[in-house]
Structure 1
Amino acid sequence: MHSTTVRHFLPDRLVLVAIIFFGAVAMIFLDSHDVWLTKLIAAYRQEWFVTLMGDSLFELEQPGGGDLVVFFLIGSVLLYLASSLVDTPCDHWPVLGRAKRIITGRPSLSSALRYHRLRLEFLLVSSFSCAILMVKTLKWAMARPRPKLTIFGTMPFSDWHEFGPFFLDAGTYRASFPSGHAALAVTLVGLAYVALYSTAGPRRQKNGLLLLCACLLFAAAMGTARVMSIAHWPTDVAFSFFGGWLLIHCLFFYGLRVVEPQGGTYHYRGQDTPPPPWRAFILCWYLSLFCLALTVCILGLRHFFFDRWPWLVCFSVVSLPVMYQALRKTREAGLFIPRA
C-alpha cells in the first residue's frame, strides 16, 4: 500500500475547540427553552418526515433513515471480522478456515483488509461507544422523563442535568436523555473522519468534507424528527449530537490515534503496523465493563441520597475497583496511550 500523508485541512485541535464551544452554547441556550421549543417544533410536525426518519426495516416497518446507519454498522462489522480473520490461525474451525482461505487466496484483498484494519477498528469502537455506551449509561443514570409523559401526562419536568423520577427498573427504556436515535445517526461522522483525515489527495479531502457535512445534516434531521414527534427534548438531541461528535473526535485523534500528526501533516498509522486482530472487541468489552461500573456507582449514590433504597450505596463502593481495572485494561490494549 502507498503511504498516506494528509495535509492539515481541518486541524484536530481547532475542531475540538469548536465542538466543545458550540456544544456548550447549545446546551446553555436550550436549557431554559426545552418545553416551549418542543411544543413549537411539534406544532409544525410533518408526518412524512417523522415517518421517514423513524421507520426501520429491522422493526418490520417501511425503509427509514435509521436503516442507513444500521447497514453501515453491519458492513463495518463484517469487514472488520474479515480483516481480523486474515491474521488468525483457524485451522481447527472448518467454516472459519474456509473463509480465511477464500480471503487469503486473493493477496490484494487480504492486504487491503490488513491495511484498513485500524480504520475499521475505529468505526466499530466509536460507533459502539457513541450509540450504546454513552446513551445507555446516561439513560440509566439521569432517568429523565420524555416530553410526552410531561406535556400530556403527569410526570414532572426535569432539566437535562438533573436526576429524573424513574427508578432503575424503568430508566433504560423510558428515559429521555440523551437521544439514542440522534446518537446512532452521529456515528456516521466516524466514516467522514476516515475519509477526511486519513486519505491523501485534495479531491478525496474535499469529498471527505462534503461527507462530514452530509453526516451532520443527517444527524440534525434525525434529531429534529425526534423532537417533532415529541419523543425527545431539544437538549436530549443536542447532547447526542455534540457529545457523540466529541467522543468520535477524541477516539479518532487521541484514543485509537488513527492518524499521527507529523509537522503540518497527518500520517495514517495503520499502514505501518496494523493493530492486532480482534482488538476492537476487547476494547468494547472493557469499555462496557467501565460504563456498567460507572452506572452502578452513580445509581448507588443517587438512591442513597434521593430514593428509597439507600443500601444500594454499597454497590458504588464495589464498582470503584472495577472501574479502575477496566480503565487499566483499555490502556494496556492500546486506548489513550501517550504518544512515543
Structure 2
Amino acid sequence: MMISMSTRSRRVPHHTILLAAIILSAAAAMMALVPFEIPLTRFVSAHRVNWFVELMGDSMFELEQPGGGDLVVIFLIVSVLLYIGSSLVDTDCSRWPVIPRLQRALLVRPMICDALRRHRLRLEFLLVSSFCCSILMVKTLKWIMARPRPKRILFGGEPFSNWYEFGPYFLDHGLYRASFPSGHAALAITLIGLAYVVIYSGSWYRRPARGTLLLLLILVFAAAMATARIMSIAHWPTDVAFSLFGGWLLIHCLFFYGLRVASVQGDSYRYRGQTDIPPAWRAFRLCGYLSLLCLAVVMMVLGLRHFFFDHWPWLVLSIFVAVPLFAYAWRRVCREGLFCHAR
C-alpha cells in the first residue's frame, strides 16, 4: 500500500507531459521544415485550390464574403461581451450615464449574474490567451524578425532568410509585410483555449470525450488555415508551424501556470471554486500591461539589432526607455497575479 501511494505521488502530472509533447513537437517540426522551405512552398502553391484559399482568407468583417476566420472573430466577440457582463455585475457604475442601465438589466437576473461571476476566470483566460496568441505574439515577432514573405523572394528577387534569422525589413520598409509568424494561423489556434476549458475546467464542465473531439476539430481547422496560407504564397511552412505550436504552447502555459484556471491534484483537475473569483476587469489590465511588456522587448531588440547592423544606430537610445518600461510592466503583471502565486 505504501509503495503504491509513493508511486502515485511521483507520477508526472498530465499537463506537464502534454507541455513536453508540445515543445518537442514544435522543435522537431521547425527543424525538419528548414531544408524544404522553398520547394515545399512551391509544391503547395502549385496545387492551389482557389475556392479553399478564398474560403479561409475572406472575412465578412473586412467587407468580403464570409470566411473561415470569421468563426474565430465571432468567438472572440462573444467572449469579450460575456467578460464585460461578468465584470459589470461587480462594478460601481453610478458615475457613468448609460452603463448603469445595462448593469440594472443584469442585476434583476440573479441567476445570470451568478453564472457570469462564476465563469469570470474562464472568460478571463479566453480573452487574455486569445489576445496574447493572435496579437502580441504575432506582432512582436513580426517587428523583431522582419522576415520577407514568399512572394517577395520567389517573384521579387529578395534574399531568403530562415525563420531564426533577422530579415531585411525595417521601420521605413513597412514591417506589416513581415512573414514570420502567420497571423491567420495564430488566430485559428486560439480556439484551442475553448477545448481546454471544456476538458479541464470545472466539475460539470469536465467532458473529456467531447473536449477531445473539439480539440481535434480545432486542430483540423487550424491546419486547414495554415495550408491555405501556404497555398496563397503568403507564408512559409515554418511561419504557420510556429504559429500553431507556439500559440498552443502559450495557451497551455496561461491555462495551467499563468492564470491557473485548473488546480492540479495528481492526475485530476478541479475548478478553483466560486470563492476564488478574479477581480473585475483584470483581463483588460493584463492585456494592457502585457502590451507594454512586448513593446519594451521590441524596442530593446530593434535598438541592439540595428546598432550592430549600422542601420539607424541612434535607435540604441530606445534601450534606455525600454528597460524601465519593461521593469514597470513586469511588476504590474506580477501584481495582477499572472504566473505569480499571489492574486
Report the TM-score when normalising by structure 1: 0.94
- Measure how far apart 1:94 and its partner are: 3.2
Greater Cα shift, 90-99 or 235-244? 90-99
Please point out which of 250, 255, 263 is paired with 1:252. Answer: 255
- Measure how far apart 1:339 and its partner are: 7.6
What is the root-mean-square deviation of aligned Cα atoms in Å?
1.6
Same amino acid, percent of matched pairs: 64
| Equivalence for 1:212 | 215
Alpha-carbon distance in structure 2 between the residues aligned to 1:217 and 1:13 = 24
Provide the secondary structure at the position in 2 that maps to 1:200.
coil
The CA deviation string for residues 307-327 of structure 1, in whole angstroms up to 9 with x for no partner, is 421111111232112112211
| Equivalence for 1:72 | 75
Pair 1:200-2:211 in alignment: no
| Equivalence for 1:51 | 54
Please point out which of 296, 311, 319 is paired with 1:293. Answer: 296
- Measure how far apart 1:63 and its partner are: 0.4
Pair 1:284-2:264 in alignment: no
| Equivalence for 1:93 | 96
| AA matched with 1:223 | A
Tell me, which stretches of 5 or more residues in structure 2 are unaligned?
1-10
Alpha-carbon distance in structure 1 between the residues aligned to 2:97 and 2:47 = 57
Alpha-carbon distance in structure 2 between the residues aligned to 1:31 and 1:212 = 27
Q: Is the 8 A contact 1:143 1:171 kept in 2?
A: no
Q: Is the 8 A contact 2:198 2:206 kept in 1?
A: no
The CA deviation string for residues 263-291 of structure 1, in whole angstroms up to 9 with x for no partner, is 33212125232100000000001000000
Superposition pairs of residues 3-14 of structure 1, within 5 angstroms: 11-14=14-17
The CA deviation string for residues 163-208 of structure 1, in whole angstroms up to 9 with x for no partner, is 0001123353110000000000011011111111104359722111
Greater Cα shift, 165-174 or 294-303? 165-174
Q: Is the 8 A contact 2:14 2:267 kept in 1?
A: no
| Equivalence for 2:139 | 136
Please point out which of 69, 77, 81 is paired with 2:84. Answer: 81
Superposition pairs of residues 151-162 of structure 1, within 5 angstroms: 151-162=154-165
Provide the secondary structure at the position in 2 that maps to 1:260.
strand
Alignment size in residue pairs: 332
Task: Tell me: CA distance 1:104–1:173, structure 2 relative to 1, closer, same or farther (3 Å).
Answer: same
The CA deviation string for residues 26-71 of structure 1, in whole angstroms up to 9 with x for no partner, is 0000111110000011111000100000000011111000000000
Greater Cα shift, 181-190 or 306-315? 306-315
Task: Tell me: CA distance 1:203–1:309, structure 2 relative to 1, closer, same or farther (3 Å).
Answer: closer
Please point out which of 272, 275, 289 is paired with 1:272. Answer: 275
Report the TM-score when normalising by structure 2: 0.94
| Equivalence for 2:312 | 309
| AA matched with 2:222 | A
